[in-house]
Amino acid sequence: MSGQEQNPPQTINTYIVYETCLMELFESCPVCKRVCDVQTRRIGTFISVQQLCPHCQFTRNWNSQPVLGSTPVGNLQLSVATYVNGASFYKLSKVFKAMNMQLCKYNTFRRHARMFIEPAIVSYWQKSQEGMLQKLHAEEKVIVGGDMRADSPGHSAKFGSYTTMDLKNNKVVDLQLVQSNEVGGSYHMELEGLKRSLELLKERGVTLDCIVTDRHLQIQKFLRESSITQFFDVWHIEKGISKQLEKAAKKKDCEKLRGWVKSIRNHIYWTAATSTTGPERVAKWTCRISTLMMTPCSPSAFIHCALRNTNGWLQATWPT
């Protein structure tokens, strides 16, 4: 027990032990060396062995795992490992069944999640969030990014989780869970999540410099009316432009455009990553377009466009 007290259970190595090998240790009495009576009790991956010698009355109880209260640590650790790694309990049970390994029931797994894992996660998150909000309150201006993840694609989602992140430190500042029937439909969930996050930041005295979001029309309108500076996430910009380029490249006499799509996509990210002002972004982007058309860049671009003619230059024409 002294070793278990010194070492936390989660730091102790674990092994797979076969039942026959384990029972060999309890067959004979360590005092009189005679055959003993052995009884076992199993709870999921946990096994308890009670050894009794009918000759010298020697007795001992042995547990395969430490026990916290009435909960075997191994069962709880397995539930934690499954939960926090996003694994499927049903797939895990198939692996255990294939190896004839003992496993706790699904109801036990859910009870561990409800009683131990989820409360621990919520408690840790609340403490971390409190610390982050205090640090952001001390800063002059904060740049945050926000986006929503829904439980299903399209406009049929029931739940949406809106995440707000401090883009300077790349840490999540707030999470808001929104249900579609709270706001009159899934399309309105993202705006509601953003409003709740901004309200929290305002209550905690966080001063925003700007916010980076997707191109959601409701969010654009709300931020514009709230006088909050908004920037679009470059991934959404690149996705929209690439989609239009791919569509245009399928048209007659526009096949050459396909060879430039990847280059243009990379240029979008490069422009966003290396620019510090709006005019600089515009100059770098227009320089790329001018180069594709074999026309000189604007002098304000102050950029050397070193492009190789590997895909064929494009010629500007009016649509017919």
Boundaries of every domain in the chain = 70-138, 140-232, 237-301
What distance in Å separates the CA atoms of residue 15 and residue 21, rounded to the nearest whole number?
13
60 within 8 A of 39, measured Cβ to Cβ: no
What distance in Å separates the CA atoms of residue 150 and residue 28, rounded to the nearest whole number?
61
- List the structure tokens of 279: 């005019």
Residue type, 313: W
* DSSP-derived secondary structure letter, 298: P
Output the CA–CA distances (angstroms, integers) from residue 23 to 60, 78, 104, 256, in the order listed: 14, 24, 21, 74
Global pTM?
Answer: 0.73
- List the structure tokens of 232: 């679009």
- List the structure tokens of 191: 């705006």
Q: Tell me the average confidence (pLDDT) per consecutive run of 10 residues in the chain, 320 residues long.
A: 64 92 94 94 96 94 93 96 95 96 96 96 96 94 93 85 94 94 90 96 94 93 94 90 87 80 87 86 77 54 47 52
Q: Which of 240, 193, 238 is nearest to 219 (CA)?
A: 193
**What is the distance between the terminal CA atoms of the chain, rounded to a whole angstrom?**
86
- List the structure tokens of 172: 């999540």
Tracing tokens 């055959």 back to the chain, one arrives at 35
Q: Which of 213, 211, 208, 218 is nearest to 232 (CA)?
A: 213
What distance in Å separates the CA atoms of residue 103 and residue 43, rounded to the nearest whole number?
8
Tracing tokens 């840790």 back to the chain, one arrives at 124
What is residue 304's predicted lDDT score, i.e. its pLDDT? 47
- List the structure tokens of 205: 């005295």
281 within 8 A of 268, measured Cβ to Cβ: no
- List the structure tokens of 40: 């076992």
CATH code that applies to domain 140-232: 3.30.420.10
What distance in Å separates the CA atoms of residue 103 and residue 87, rounded to the nearest whole number?
15
Angle 61-62-63 (CA atoms, 0-180°, nearest 5)? 130
Output the CA–CA distances (angstroms, integers) from residue 125 to 20, 44, 47, 131, in the order listed: 44, 30, 34, 10
What distance in Å separates the CA atoms of residue 199 and residue 145, rounded to the nearest whole number?
15
Strands 230-232 vs 59-63: parallel, antiparallel or unpaired: unpaired
